Amino acid sequence: MNLKYLIGWSSALCLSAIVAQAQETNEVDKLDQRLKQIQESFEKQQREMRENFERLLREQQAQIESLKKELANIPTNAVAAPTNAAPAAAVTTEQLKELNTKVDGVVEAQKQVRPNAFNPSIGLVGETVFSYRSKGADETGSSRPGGFDVYQRSVELNVAASVDPFAKAYAVINASADAQTGEATLGVEEAALQTTSLPWNLELKAGRFFAEFGKLSYIHDHELPFVNRPLALDQYIGGESRTDGAQLNWLLPTPHYVSLTTGFGVGFGGDSPLNNPGSYRSLSGFNYYGRLSTYFDLTPNIQLETGISGLINPSTQDRGGVLVQPDGSTLTEKERRVAGLDLKLSYVPLRNNQFQRLDWGTEVLYSDSRYLFNPSGSLDPANPTHTAGWPAPSPDDYDGNVGSVGLYSYATYKWHRQWSAGFLFDYMQSAENHNDVTVAYSPYITWALSHWNQIRLQYTHTDHNAASGLHPDDAIYLQWAWIIGAHSHGWQAR
């Protein structure tokens, strides 16, 4: 039995080897043939070139001989020529002088524009949000006052250029109005280097950037399909997924689109507080994240894109300091974990996609952070510094996880190049207490006067349950966003 087994496998292996060798020999023969063909073609071309050159030489020689003969006859006519030649020469000199002046002018003009030749492309985005909220900030938990408000949310400078044949770089510098003082708070939202020529379908990004997590986390505010970022993203990510780190993207070498991104960074979330590393940060103090996404053409006009994302920060080191709960207890965060599933279904009729489109986007997130709970509320929120021996644990403190679910779902229908309308539904359990639930409903309508100028009107009704200590409120937003200068159609904006 064993011998049969051995003979059988040996035969199969030998056959494979023979066939493989035959295949290899076949390939070598073909390559050899091709090389011979190329060589023959090259030699033929060389011969033809030589023959053409010799023929050309002969023709030119004949022309020279002919011209020489004509020249020999010229002296008998040359005496009369000068009387006609002088005025023609004067005209030619004048014209030549004028031409030289023009050429000099063009050369000078070219010299003048050269200093700008390597400037990056520059664009500026402005975004103003006019609003009315029926309740004050103390009742809504908003960072902006209730009642009437005008918020210059973005004055965003975008610059981008190639660094060299291997990379490009870009920066997004944003100024927004401080809620208390009204003064412009300037910040670098993104400043990163991105490779352009790595092998194996890889792309590396490093610096400060919006990490690829989910579908809307890495979209700038003015590019969102609605006025405000979904509650779940604000709560679990901390606004935009900004991080200082590095990210590697791999386009899988398959006929079907599959993209894998992974990265790490210090901090995750533009509005999210940083960890408290103290004097030494270990690897567990980083945020590690990834996203796997794919896409389907369900029909030529219907597209589906979906992805799963994950984020873990093994040691958040009391990120955000002491977090005071509505019931007076306090807690500090020890570990952060977020998982997400995103889906976007789009109807984009090829024939008139500039004038008609329907998008349905949904993202479900699960936050599973670990906290040190301090039910007695004995931790001092005024002293958030993590120093040795602080916070002093009390006997009833305990370690535990809070699993919270958040989601948003929106649909936007565009029926005209300038007009679209939609509805956004928000559901969010607080990451610190999943019994604290907020729900919001937001219809909106957008008027895009042009590609660079749009106005959006949105109504939002927000409901909180009793656990939050907040109150329901109604808000109206009028957002006006504009762009000047260079503005590229980025991959995320598809």
Partner 1 sequence: MKSTLFRLLSVATIGAAALIASPAQAAKIRVVTTLTDLADFSREVGGEHVEVFSLATGVEDTHGVPMKPSFVPVMNRADLMVSVGFGCEHAFLPALLEASKNPRIQYGKPGYVDCSPGIAPLAVPKSTDHSEGDVHPYGNPHYMLDPVLAKTAIQHIYEALVAIAPQYQADFTRNRDAYLAKLDAKIAQWQAEAKGLKGVKFISYHEEWEYFAERFGMKVFDTIELKPGIDPTPRHIEQLITGMKAEHVPIVVREPQFPEKVPALIARQTGATLLKLPIMPGGVPHTDTYIEMMDFIVHTMVSAEAKRG
What residues make contact with partner 1 under the rule CB under 8 A?
1, 4-5, 8-9, 11-13, 15-16, 19-20, 22-23, 26-27, 34, 37-38, 41, 196-198, 201-203, 251, 253-257, 259, 295-297, 300, 303, 305, 348, 350-355, 416-418, 450-452, 484, 488-491, 493-494
For residue 264, which phi and psi values (nearest 5 degrees)?
-145, 160
Find the shortest distance in angstroms from Cβ 453 to partner 1.
9
What H or E segment, with its residue span, contains residue 55? helix 2-73
Find the shortest distance in angstroms from Cβ 448 to partner 1.
10
Write out the DSSP string of 222-276: GGSSSSS--HHHHHHT-SS-EEEEEEEEEE-SSSS-EEEEEEEEE--STTSPPP-
**Minimum CB distance to partner 1 smaller for 26 or for 435:** 26
Find the shortest distance in angstroms from Cβ 203 to partner 1.
6
**Minimum CB distance to partner 1 smaller for 295 or for 373:** 295
**Minimum CB distance to partner 1 smaller for 46 or for 401:** 46
Record the tokens describing residue 46, joined without a space: 């060389």
In this structure, what DSSP letter does residue 407 have? E
**Minimum CB distance to partner 1 smaller for 19 or for 161:** 19
**Minimum CB distance to partner 1 smaller for 220 or for 337:** 220
Rg (CA), the chain: 35
Find the shortest distance in angstroms from Cβ 283 to partner 1.
29
For residue 76, which phi and psi values (nearest 5 degrees)?
-65, -25
Question: Quick check: helix, strand or coil at residue 390?
Answer: coil
Find the shortest distance in angstroms from Cβ 120 to partner 1.
15
**Minimum CB distance to partner 1 smaller for 135 or for 205:** 205
Record the tokens describing residue 283, joined without a space: 């690897």
**Minimum CB distance to partner 1 smaller for 60 or for 353:** 353
d(CA 171, CA 187): 11
Find the shortest distance in angstroms from Cβ 343 to partner 1.
14
Find the shortest distance in angstroms from Cβ 358 to partner 1.
13
**Number of neighbouring beta carbons within 10 Å of residue 453:** 13
Record the tokens describing residue 191, joined without a space: 């400043």
What H or E segment, with its residue span, contains residue 324? strand 323-324
